[in-house]
Amino acid sequence: MNNPDVAKQLDVLRSQLNDYNYQYYVLDDPSVPDAEYDRLMRELEALEEKHPELISHDSPTQKVSGQASDAFTPVQHEVPMLSLDNAFADEEFSAFDKRIQDRLKRSWTVEYSCEPKLDGLAVSILYEQGLLVRAATRGDGQVGENITNNVKTIANVPLRLRGNNYPQRLEVRGEVFMPKQGFEKLNEQQKAADKKVFVNPRNAAAGSLRQLDPKITASRPLLFYAYSVGLVEGEVEALANRHSERLQQLTIWGLPVCKEIDTALGAQQCHDYFAKIGQQRDDLSYEIDGVVFKVNDIEVQKELGFVARAPRWAIAQKFPAQEQMTKLLEVEFQVGRTGAITPVARLDPVFVGGVTVSNATLHNQDEIHRLGVKKGDTVVIRRAGDVIPQVVSVVSHLRPEDAENIVFPEHCPVCESNIEKLEGEAVARCTGGLFCGAQRKEAMKHFASRKALDVDGLGDKLVEQLVDQKLVKGPADFFKLDVAQLANMERMGEKSASNLVNALITAKTTTLPKFLYSLGIREVGETTAANLANHFLNLEALKEASLEQLQEVNDVGVIVAQHVFHFFREQHNLEVINDLLDVGLNWPSIEAKSEDQQPLNGQTFVLTGTLQTMDRNQAKAQLQGLGAKVSGSISAKTHFLVAGEKAGSKLTKAQDLGVEVLTEEELIHLFTQYS
Ligand code: I6G
Which of 292, 296, 309, 317 to mutate to test ligand 1, by most ligand atoms within 8 A of the CB atom?
A: 292
Q: Please write the tens of the pLDDT for every residue from 400-443.
A: 999 999 999 999 999 999 999 988 888 999 998 878 999 999 99
What average pLDDT does the segment 298-302 reach? 95
User: What pLDDT sits at residue 602?
Assistant: 83
- The ligand 1 atom nearest the CA atom of 115: 9
Closest CA to 327 of 315, 345, 310: 345
User: What pLDDT sits at residue 114?
Assistant: 98
pLDDT bin (cut points 50, 70, 90) of residue 1 is low
Dihedral angle over CA of 588, 592, 594, 595, nearest 10: 140
User: What pLDDT sits at residue 64?
Assistant: 59
User: What pLDDT sits at residue 634?
Assistant: 87
DSSP for 148-186, please give it.
Answer: HHHHHTSTTS-SB-SSS-S-SEEEEEEEEE--HHHHHHH
User: 228 CB under 6 A from ligand 1?
Assistant: yes
Distance (angstroms) between ligand 1 centre and the Cα of 260 equals 15
User: What pLDDT sits at residue 69?
Assistant: 53
Distance (angstroms) between ligand 1 centre and the Cα of 116 equals 10
Report H helices in 85-130: 90-104
User: 84 CB under 6 A from ligand 1?
Assistant: yes
User: 178 CB under 6 A from ligand 1?
Assistant: no
Distance (angstroms) between ligand 1 centre and the Cα of 395 equals 29
Distance (angstroms) between ligand 1 centre and the Cα of 62 equals 29
Residue 364 has pLDDT above 60, yes or no: yes
Identify whether the C-beta of residue 121 lies closer than 8 Å to the C-beta of residue 130: no
User: What pLDDT sits at residue 622?
Assistant: 83
User: What pLDDT sits at residue 609?
Assistant: 87
12: left (phi over 0), alpha (psi -120 to 50) or beta: alpha
Q: Please write the tens of the pLDDT for every residue from 2-23.
A: 678 899 999 999 999 999 888 8
Distance (angstroms) between ligand 1 centre and the Cα of 83 equals 7
User: 605 CB under 6 A from ligand 1?
Assistant: no
User: What pLDDT sits at residue 397?
Assistant: 87
195: number of CA atoms within 13 Å, CB side?
8
What average pLDDT does the segment 554-559 reach? 86
Identify whether the C-beta of residue 173 lies closer than 8 Å to the C-beta of residue 121: no
User: What pLDDT sits at residue 176?
Assistant: 97
User: What pLDDT sits at residue 108?
Assistant: 84
Q: Please write the tens of the pLDDT for every residue from 155-195.
A: 999 999 999 889 999 999 999 999 999 999 999 999 889 88
Residue 112 has pLDDT above 90, yes or no: yes
Beta strands in 337-431 (DSSP E): 341-352, 355-361, 378-382, 390-394, 419-421, 428-430
Residue 235 has pLDDT above 80, yes or no: no
- Give the three-class secondary structure for 76: strand
10: number of CA atoms within 13 Å, CB side?
24
Mean pLDDT, the chain, as a whole number? 91
User: What pLDDT sits at residue 632?
Assistant: 80
Q: Please write the tens of the pLDDT for every residue from 325-335.
A: 899 999 999 99
Q: Please write the tens of the pLDDT for every residue from 131-155.
A: 999 999 998 889 999 999 999 999 9
User: What pLDDT sits at residue 614?
Assistant: 82
Which of 86, 123, 227, 263 to mutate to test ligand 1, by most ligand atoms within 8 A of the CB atom?
A: 227
Closest CA to 177 of 238, 134, 221: 221
Distance (angstroms) between ligand 1 centre and the Cα of 223 equals 16
Kindly tell me the burial class for residue 457, based on how many C-beta atoms sit within 10 Å of its own C-beta (0-12, 13-18, 19 or more): middle
User: 77 CB under 6 A from ligand 1?
Assistant: no
Q: Please write the tens of the pLDDT for every residue from 478-503.
A: 999 999 999 999 999 999 999 999 99
pLDDT over 70 percentage in the chain: 98
User: 113 CB under 6 A from ligand 1?
Assistant: no
Which positions are catalytic?
117
User: 115 CB under 6 A from ligand 1?
Assistant: yes
pLDDT over 90 percentage in the chain: 67
- Give the three-class secondary structure for 106: coil
User: 478 CB under 6 A from ligand 1?
Assistant: no
Residue 635 has pLDDT above 80, yes or no: yes
